[in-house]
Amino acid sequence: MVPELRQAYNAAFTDEKFQGFVQALNRYRTPIQFRIAETPVFVPRSFSRQMIDACEQIVDVLTQPDFREKTERAIPENFRVPGENAHPHFIAFDFGVCRNASGGLEPQLIEMQGFPTLFGYEVLLDDVFNAHFGIPPGYSSYLGGLNRNTYLELFRKIVVAGEDPENVILLEIFPQQQKTNIDFYCTEDYLGIKMVCITELIKRGNQLFYLKDGKETRIKRIYNRVIFDELQQQDAAIQEKAKVLFEDLDLEWVTHPNWFYRISKFTLPMIQHPNIPETRFLNDVKVIPEDLEHYVLKPLFSFAGQGVVIDVTPGDISAIKDPENWILQKKVEYAAVIQTPDEPAKSEIRIFYFWEEGAPRPRPVNNLARLSKGKMIGVRFNKDKTWTGGGFALFEQ
């Protein structure tokens, strides 16, 4: 996206240097479970400003007094958790790199989530990339005037707050087995908290505990990495154990699980912006568009792209029995503009927003990027492809 940087990077790239970079990233007990992209995305200032402008317009909607009232239906009743915070601590916005009508590049929002993402791993990635390849002067992966130290200070302040780190946990379903476990190891290191599996929780009254060095230790804050939809795919014994999370507990959630649903595909029909594709609840669509090939059909309550219909037909729409739980969204056409040694790659950039307690608004802080040469973004669509996978963007400052 910045031609002179792209040309210089590709010319200096060697597989030997890249393998040394990957080896340095794999410093924990298990290797990274996803493919690491060979390159960052170099983002010019004009492009990043468009992304931030779209994010800020969404934040305007999220901070309206009636936003929670408008999104009550977004939370499935069987997944509603007591003790919801006044606002989420974390939001992630995903943008595709696309071409506009005049042939220039522009970001288009794909989706958003009121949920954490790879906040720890991206610090490690930036560190190791800089050591092996070097970051061009005037570029940074951090946003909002932050650097490595101030970013980690803010991350720690939000997650740990004033508690002893031993009373704060990262909660997941079998965290060591997750594809994103590298992020959990990084978070343990940077924040001093422990990853804990749902199956390891101990309930005493309305309090939760976990075993640390064989001793029951009180949990006062949960840095939540559990996607509650995934609970339905677990064995009955695990689902039974997880029922404790739906009780009124004496602890704080970071971010509270209800925000995963409030800030999601459900919110998109509320927003109009040039960098946000037209989105409507399917039950509000009275006339099926004649150019249906330019739309995508998405279920509200799914994750990781499951259930998405890319090539929509009128039959697909008529077959849906609960149209209030689906959205029809103008299709985003990714532009294959990242030059690689063979074919160009598409890219998606995720902007991280952090929201401190007491702050009127969240703020942009960091990012990740994914490169693809398949029909969709994601590892399973890029088998046997190089210069694809997970990475990050470097923004012109």
Question: What is the chain's Cα-based Rg?
Answer: 21
Give the strand pairing for 389-391 and 363-372. antiparallel
Give the strand pairing for 90-99 and 105-113. antiparallel
pLDDT higher than 80, residue 210: yes
Give the residue-averaged pLDDT of 132-153. Answer: 98
pTM of the model: 0.94
Considering only 15-19, 72-76, 168-172, which range has the smallest mean pLDDT?
72-76
Cis omega before residue 279 (within 30°)? no
pLDDT in tens, 271-309: 999 999 999 999 999 999 999 999 999 998 776 567 889
pLDDT higher than 70, residue 161: yes
Question: What is the predicted pLDDT for the residue at 223?
Answer: 98
In the chain, where are the structural domains located? 3-277+347-396, 279-331
- Residue 292 Cα distances to 30, 211, 315, 325, 331, angstroms: 45, 54, 11, 19, 9
Q: What are the φ/ψ torsions at residue 323 (nearest 5 degrees)?
A: -60, -20
pLDDT higher than 90, residue 384: no
> With bands split at pLDDT 50, 70 and 90, how would you rate the model's confidence at 381?
low
pLDDT higher than 90, residue 366: yes
Give the residue-averaged pLDDT of 156-162. Answer: 97
Give the residue-averaged pLDDT of 96-112. Answer: 94
In terms of average pLDDT, the best of 131-135, 288-292, 331-335 is 131-135
CA distance 332 to 179: 27
Considering only 116-125, 198-207, 221-230, 296-305, which range has the smallest mean pLDDT?
296-305
> With bands split at pLDDT 50, 70 and 90, how would you rate the model's confidence at 173?
very high
Question: What is the predicted pLDDT for the residue at 305?
Answer: 60
pLDDT higher than 70, residue 164: yes
Tokens of 114: 């009121």
> With bands split at pLDDT 50, 70 and 90, how would you rate the model's confidence at 63?
very high
Give the residue-averaged pLDDT of 76-81. Answer: 92
Considering only 231-240, 302-311, 348-357, which range has the smallest mean pLDDT?
302-311
Average pLDDT, the chain: 94
Tell me which residue of 211, 203, 278 sits closest to 245, measured CA to CA.
Answer: 203
- Buried b / exposed e across 220-235, counting CB within 10 Å, b at 16+? bbbbbbbebbebeebe
CA distance 67 to 305: 25
CA distance 227 to 213: 27
Q: What are the φ/ψ torsions at residue 370 (nearest 5 degrees)?
A: -130, 140
pLDDT higher than 60, residue 347: yes
